[in-house]
Amino acid sequence: MDDLIADFVAECREMLEALGGEIVAWEAQPGDRARLDSIFRFVHTVKGNCGFFEFPRLEALSHAAEDALADVRAGRRQADGALVSAVLAVIDRIGEMVAAIEVGEDMPAGDDSALIEALEPGAEVVVAPVAAVPADGQKAPAAPRTIRLSVELLDRVMSTVSDMVLARNELARRLREAPNDVSVDGAFERLSAIIADMRDAITRTRMQRIENLFVGLPRMVRDLSAELGKQVLVDIEGGDVELDREMIEMIRDPLTHIIRNAVDHGIETPADRLKAGKREIGLLAVSARQSGNQILIDIQDDGRGIDGKKLVEKAIAAGTVDKAAAALFSPREQLALVFEAGLSTAKAVTSISGRGVGMDVVRSNVERIGGIVEVDSTPGQGTRMTLRVPLTLTIIPALTVSIDGQHFAIPRSAIDEIVRANGESVTLEHVGGAGIATIRGRRVPEVSLADILGLHSDVPAEERTLIVLRPAGGDVYALAVDRIHDHEELVVKPAAPAVMATGIYAGTTLADDGSPILLFDPAGLAEVGGVRLEAQERTARIAEASESAEAAAQSVLLFHGLDGARRALRLAVVDRIEEVPASAVRQAAGQLRVQLGDSILPLAGATNMDFADGKVRLFRLNDGVHEVGYAFADVIDFAAIDNDVIHAGREGEVSGVSLINGEPAELLDAHWLFANHVGAAARPAEPLVCRLPGDDPWMQNMLRPMVEAAGYRVVGEQDDVAADLVIAAQGANAPADGTRTIWLRGEPEASGKKDESIYRYDRAGLLMALKSAGGAK
């Protein structure tokens, strides 16, 4: 029986974690049947289990809530704020009782009759409980087989697997140094595969969706808002990001404190917001994303913000900082004072915040687990707090490098390629004080690891190795290191707070010989190194072009097309060079298109999708409004048109040919490219309006996509919009205002010579009628 009760408690706790947000969301959208059903299933499950375990008080509470929710499900009652509050109160009491059962204590003292009466609409309602019963002939899906293990046991297993990985790395190093033995190598490969599978399985047991941390936030914000007389809308993103479950528990309190502060004295009251020209409802956005080996949690509000100067004044008054030193503070250093003990931005002390204790504890708690808290705020516009926390104990593939005899590691997931600085396809230069590396025609910023770390390097710049990095959400850049060593899997742990505060490290690890190694954060290296790809590309382009407008117009980029032809393109229209996987190119809407981040561009320069090595290199062309991609094989050089141009005899992609650097090259016509890949597909700024019957499924499902593709905006009969065209079934009433109408018939043959209707599946006839009506320009 004890095991059954333990399972009941565990199940209740898991369901309770998800319910707080569900009820608040249901209050905002009472018609959301899915959320109502999930809340109903919870109270119904609790009621059924209580009868088995003989918890009469818990059973009575869940039964009353089930009755009230059953009324709403049956349409006999409307969900309102009073009902939601009553259900929340009941579920809170259920949570207290479940917690008492878990530790073997008596039920909380008190009478539940007030909670049960609050569920009633004013009159007694007798409702038969609704049970979830599978449909006839269907079996309920089998639940996955699970067992419950202590976190301590998982920690021990994970630690053992980490030691196995380190031992395997050391064994791999010794095998490389020993004479080759095929049988030993084969056994080692099998052992490596087994360890990798075990590592993945154990790692997944410790990972948990951060959604479990977020589910209670809407409920908490709702309660705080009601207590403070404010209106706050919560927007949550990134719940599918996974984090070590131990880390989730360790950041729960810091996150809760930040959100309470944001609601209490960050977001203004509705009256104050209206005076400030804002809408009455404040917005609190909470999001999570993974960046390298860190999880970034952003908490952003659109409230009054933090005044850094006032913080400095309070810090000086409190004796926390010296007045002379404070005068030299940067805006970021001023805002960092919010984490000093005893300082608060609150105007008054409340039960929620304002005593100056809390933010210093938040910072210390986050730093204790190897994380960082950052703050950015604009007075009058809002505040953003960012928690940077590591993934704790994890194993990642990495590349070890060295500079001045010191070893470091770089996550392999961020590495694009590795090249020698003195290679034939690589050139190094400095433009505007910044380093630029041109690698096979691709220009990327170049930074030296020795310069970033302040270390001495005996290796000349031209003999270093360039590691091309593409950090998550960042620009590509080249990192110059003295030497590179092995690719191997490393066990990563949080580094000390002082180390993490530098912004360039993601954790610490051990080499195969047991020596400590710091793991770089590629995005942090880029920021500290001052990488600004777009600015450097623009500077390089201006520096390479002639100072006069006439000379700039003659500057071209010389390259080989995918067909091997030598071509040139005016430099002024080339925005940047991109490289994407071949899977990003697809045939869509009549032409090749390429996905670049959140943008989909027409792709020229390619007649098919047969790309070598599975990658596509392309120029990103820009006319100031639109963008077009142009695929190419490799860049030859930057050049100028010094000779006469022999113009083509007809319009097309190639406008002419000229001698460039002593060899003929085809000149591309950028105007023609944009006219044929953008202009032809462009729609009118104000498309014509076509009215379709809203109650005709065929019209809506089959015909509507064709009409919209022809350039029309489709409206229904209930929309109060003047239509330029009406499409109706033959026999329907003609529009009273005499709007032009296309009549559709269901039979292939017309009923007579005067029948001008179109067969509903006569695609060519329909398109012709739409075009003649002016919809397709």
What is the CATH number for 249? 3.30.565.10
Q: What is the mean pLDDT of residues 25-36?
A: 77
pLDDT (tens digit per residue) in 227-257: 888 988 888 888 778 887 777 878 888 888 8
Residue 341 has pLDDT above 60, yes or no: yes
Q: Does 140 reside within a domain?
A: no
Q: Where does the pLDDT of residue 4 fall: very low under 50, low under 70, confident under 90, or very high at 90 and above?
A: low
* Pair 550, 617 in one domain: yes
Q: Where does the pLDDT of residue 118 fall: very low under 50, low under 70, confident under 90, or very high at 90 and above?
A: confident
pLDDT (tens digit per residue) in 577-626: 777 888 888 877 677 888 876 678 888 988 776 776 678 888 888 876 78
Residue 356 has pLDDT above 50, yes or no: no
Q: Where does the pLDDT of residue 383 fall: very low under 50, low under 70, confident under 90, or very high at 90 and above?
A: very high
Q: Does 598 reside within a domain?
A: yes
Whole-number pLDDT of residue 473: 44
Q: Does 551 reside within a domain?
A: yes
Whole-number pLDDT of residue 669: 86
* Pair 453, 570 in one domain: no
Burial of 749 (0-12, 13-18, 19+ CB in 10 A): exposed
Residue 776 has pLDDT above 50, yes or no: no
* Pair 593, 613 in one domain: yes
Sign of CA dihedral 420, 422, 425, 427: positive
pLDDT (tens digit per residue) in 648-665: 877 788 888 888 888 889
* Pair 176, 288 in one domain: no
> In the listed set 118, 138, 173, which residue is the last one of a domain according to the structure?
118
Q: What is the mean pLDDT of residues 68-82?
A: 83
* Pair 557, 652 in one domain: yes
Asked which of 116-130, 185-199, 357-371, 655-669 is least confident by mean pLDDT, the reply is: 116-130
State the average pLDDT for the chain: 77
Whole-number pLDDT of residue 671: 83
* Pair 622, 563 in one domain: yes
Q: Where does the pLDDT of residue 3 fall: very low under 50, low under 70, confident under 90, or very high at 90 and above?
A: low
Q: What is the 3-state secondary structure (H, E, C) of 341-374?
A: CCCCCCCCCCCCCCCCCCHHHHHHHHHHCCCEEE
- For 760, what's the count of Cα atoms within 13 Å in the CB-facing half-sphere? 15
Whole-number pLDDT of residue 566: 92
* Pair 568, 614 in one domain: yes
Higher pLDDT among residues 53 and 118, named by residue: 118
* Pair 562, 584 in one domain: yes
Q: What share of the chain has pLDDT > 90, as a percent?
A: 3
* Pair 175, 292 in one domain: no
The distance of Cα 201 from the centroid of its chain, to the nearest Å, equals: 25
Whole-number pLDDT of residue 299: 92
Q: Does 337 reside within a domain?
A: no
Residue 511 has pLDDT above 70, yes or no: no
* Pair 713, 739 in one domain: yes
Total number of domains in the chain: 6
Taking the C-alpha atoms of residue 467 and residue 416, their distance in angstroms, rounded to an integer, is: 8
Taking the C-alpha atoms of residue 205 and residue 393, their distance in angstroms, rounded to an integer, is: 13
* Pair 671, 638 in one domain: yes
Higher pLDDT among residues 118 and 393, named by residue: 118
Taking the C-alpha atoms of residue 610 and residue 642, their distance in angstroms, rounded to an integer, is: 35
pLDDT (tens digit per residue) in 737-758: 888 899 998 888 877 777 788 8
Q: In sequence order, which residues have a C-beta less than 8 Å from that of residue 193 and are 6 or more positions away?
A: none
Taking the C-alpha atoms of residue 301 and residue 282, their distance in angstroms, rounded to an integer, is: 7
* Pair 676, 699 in one domain: no
> In the listed set 506, 534, 562, which residue is the last one of a domain according to the structure?
534
Residue 62 has pLDDT above 80, yes or no: yes
Q: Does 319 reside within a domain?
A: no
Domain that includes residue 452, residue range: 394-534
Higher pLDDT among residues 123 and 194, named by residue: 194
Burial of 1 (0-12, 13-18, 19+ CB in 10 A): exposed
Instruction: List the one residue out of 166, 229, 214 whose CA is nearest residue 192.
Output: 166
Q: Which residue pairs from 693-702 have beta carbons closer than 8 angstroms and sit at least 24 positions apart in sequence?
A: 693/717, 693/728, 693/729, 693/732, 694/718, 696/729, 698/760, 699/727, 699/729
- CATH of residue 35's domain is 1.20.120.160
Decide if 561 contacts 673 (C-beta within 8 A): no
pLDDT (tens digit per residue) in 276-305: 888 888 999 999 887 766 788 999 999 999
